[in-house]
Chains A and B, each alone.
Chain A
């Protein structure tokens, strides 16, 4: 009640001194309604009408099942207690994923697992042989290792696995 009466006093005062818009800004600052929390479905793919959308195992498990039904994609020591380089490692992982997505375009059939042991970065992912030749895969492997090693200033090793087609790793359809 005290707040309400204050507002009335404020509005009466503001009619004389302040413009109306200033008052609205002052009133807008107070919000007492509860949060709806509707937008919490990040990373959960939307189902189609006839269940035609193929998903791999990684995509089929929602992010909140991490460590219950699926493991992490980045393995490093930075998030341990009192360890450093969190931001740098996260940013490097982002760059690596972007680079591999572009370099292995059309052949990449899974997410990229980034494992770090000491100064070695090991990248492992699945590559489909549908559209790619064996020699192309060998070339791209060396190309990825060479460029990433130069940029990140540490040895990068690619341990990929080739599969016949993307259809072989479809886990379910939604």
Chain B
């Protein structure tokens, strides 16, 4: 009992707190049942004067409506072309490639198709909100004024054309090997393209230092890559993954082919007359016959006493074959025979052969 009396003030405090919280619950209940605004007003009246509360039937008296604040749609800005000066710098207005902007382009333009007066009130759609004008690429960033600015900006990177390379012939002389590569431009996040690895090099076979054997071997080794009509050799490679690797590979191929064609393999010396790809007068029986004929004529000329119809071009000593064959008359005959065999019979080669024989044998009568 003593313990309880000792704690009684505390108990009282707890009790009071509990009571006030109870009333608070009741008050909240009232507020939720009768409506917030009404309860507040009644409370105020109750505090102002100690009269009774008046029960207000909801909906009987018209309460003041709260004004709904409606958002006023912002007025669009005046289009830019209205405030543009006539002598403005267009490159500052439209500096780079951009979609068509109706408010910036100062000239009137329409695009679209109308079938009848029911469509767009019978007029072609104007530039305002016109999707068709926005679709296509435009050239408003590539006017002459723009190009002038571009050129002025690029000028400091330009160098004069090198001296001594004025003509194509000079270029070919100084840079005999021509390499052809391609770069591909397309719309994608990556700039890599596997087609860009292909490299082609071209050169004229006459620009290489080759003798007859080396040239013949070179042509046999490159096969269809040699164009007989233009004397051009074309190598192409795409076997390596990168362009530079392919270019290096082709340079290696060219070097290897050049030195390989100069080599004489042991089996190449086994080549016989029937293996020859063309007619060689020096290797054929025609040479022997010609020299023996000339020797016979020389012996006859020496034995005859008259001076007419002699072969005056022959030297006194005709025993040496090489000396005989190097005579211009004999050489002319050689060339004529080789051409008739190698190029085939036509009016030119036959005429050439006729003249060569007439010179060789000193025939002065008109043979038709």
- Which residues of chain A have a CB within 8 Å of any CB of chain B? 56-58, 60-61, 65, 68-73, 75-78, 83-85, 88-89, 110-111, 113, 115-119, 122, 124-126, 129-130, 133-134, 152-154, 159, 161-164, 168-169, 171-172
B131 pairs with A129, CB closer than 8 A: no
B348 contacts partner chain A, Cβ-Cβ < 8 Å: no
**Bound complex: CA of A78 vs CA of B113, how far in Å?**
28
A118 contacts B187, C-beta separation under 8 Å: yes
Separation in Å of the B319 CB from the closest CB of chain A?
Answer: 72
Closest-by-CB residue of A relative to B188 is: A85
B345 within 8 A of A: no
Interface bits B86-128 vs A (CB < 8 Å: 1, else 0): 0000000000011101100000000011000011100001001
Residues of A within 8 A of B118 (CB): 172
- Given contacts A76-B187, A119-B189, whether A126 and B129 have CB atoms under 8 Å apart is yes
Contacts of B62 in A (CB 8 A): none
Complex Cα–Cα for A101 and B186 (A): 27
Cα of A153 to Cα of B137 in the assembled complex, Å: 24
Interface contact A72-B135, CB-CB below 8 Å: yes
Given contacts A71-B135, A169-B129, contact A119 B73 (CB under 8 A): no
9 contacts between A and B (CB under 8 A): A65-B113, A77-B186, A88-B188, A110-B131, A118-B187, A129-B74, A130-B73, A154-B189, A162-B76
B126-151 vs A, CB cutoff 8 Å, 1 = contact: the mask equals 00111110111100000000000000
From A70, A89, A115, A122, B132 is in contact (CB under 8 Å) with A70
- For residue A73, which residues in chain B have a CB less than 8 angstroms away from its CB? 135
Report the minimal beta-carbon distance from B184 to chain A, rounded to whole angstroms. Answer: 9
Interface majority SS (helix, strand, loop, mixed), chain B: loop
Chain A residues with CB under 8 Å of B119's CB are 60, 171-172
For residue A47, give the distance in angstroms from its CB to the closest CB of chain B.
12
> A75 to B137, Cβ gap below 8 A?
yes
**A57 engages B112 (CB within 8 Å):** yes
Pick from B74, B99, B112: contact of A159, CB under 8 Å = B99
Contact partner, A124, options B74, B113, B134, B187, Cβ 8 Å: B134
| B102 CB contacts on chain A under 8 angstroms | 161
* A72 vs B136: C-alpha distance when bound (angstroms): 8
Q: Across the interface, which residues of B come within 8 angstroms of A168, CB to CB?
A: 128-129
B131 and A58 within 8 A (CB)? yes
**Is B191 close to A, CB under 8 A?**
yes
Q: How far is the CA of A68 from the CA of B113 in the complex (A)?
A: 9
Of the residues B73, B112, B137, contact of A115 by C-beta under 8 Å = B137
Interface, chain B (partner A; CB < 8 A) = 73-74, 76, 97-99, 101-102, 112-113, 118-120, 125, 128-132, 134-137, 185-191
User: In the complex, A162→B250 CA distance in Å?
Assistant: 58
Q: Please report the C-alpha to C-alpha distance between residue A10 and residue B136 in the assembled complex, in whole angstroms.
A: 63
A113 touches B189 (CB 8 A): no
Beta-carbon contact of B73 and A71 below 8 Å: no
Query: Contact between A117 and B99 (Cβ–Cβ < 8 Å)?
Result: no
Report A63 CB to chain B, min CB distance, Å: 15
Q: How far, in angstroms, from A78 to B187 measured CA to CA in the complex?
A: 7
Nearest A residue (CB) for B76: A164
A117: shortest Cβ distance to chain B, in Å? 7
Is there an interface contact between A57 and B137, defined as CB atoms closer than 8 Å? no
Q: Are B76 and A171 in contact (CB under 8 A)?
A: no
- The answer, among B120, B186, B187, for a CB contact under 8 Å with A171, is B120
Looking at A70, A89, A152, A168, which has the most chain B CB atoms within 10 Å of its CB? A70
- CB < 8 Å: which of B128, B136, B190 contacts A163? B128
Whether B135 pairs with A117 at a CB distance below 8 angstroms is: no
Write the nearest CB–CB distance from B14 to chain A, whole angstroms: 55
**Is B132 in contact with A57, judged by CB distance below 8 angstroms?**
yes
Contact, CB under 8 Å: A134 / B74: yes
CB distance from A77 to the nearest CB of B (A): 4
B120 touches A122 (CB 8 A): no
Q: How far apart are the CA atoms of A125 and B130 in the complex, in Å?
A: 10
Chain B residues with CB below 8 A from A169, complex form? 129, 131
Taking a contact as CB atoms under 8 Å apart, the answer to whether B191 and A119 are in contact is yes
Given contacts A56-B131, A57-B112, A164-B76, contact A152 B189 (CB under 8 A): yes
Complex CA distance for A130 and B101, rounded to whole angstroms: 20
Set of chain A residues within 8 Å of B128, measured between Cβ atoms: 163, 168
Q: How far is the CA of A152 from the CA of B120 in the complex (A)?
A: 38
**Minimum CB distance partner of A60 in chain B:** B119
Q: How far is the CA of A61 from the CA of B190 in the complex (A)?
A: 35
Q: How far is the CA of A168 from the CA of B73 in the complex (A)?
A: 15
**B187 close to A71 (CB less than 8 A):** no
Query: What CA separation (Å) do A164 and B130 show in the bound complex?
Result: 13
Check A163–B135 contact: CB distance below 8 A. no
Cα–Cα distance between A169 and B129 once the two chains are bound (Å): 6
In the complex, residue of chain B having the shortest beta-carbon distance to the beta carbon of A117: B187
- Give every chain A residue within 8 A of B130 (Cβ-Cβ): 57
The one of A69, A83, A124 in contact with B99, judged by C-beta atoms closer than 8 angstroms, is: A124
- Chain B residues with Cβ under 8 A from A130's Cβ? 73
Distance of B129 from chain A, by nearest CB (Å): 5
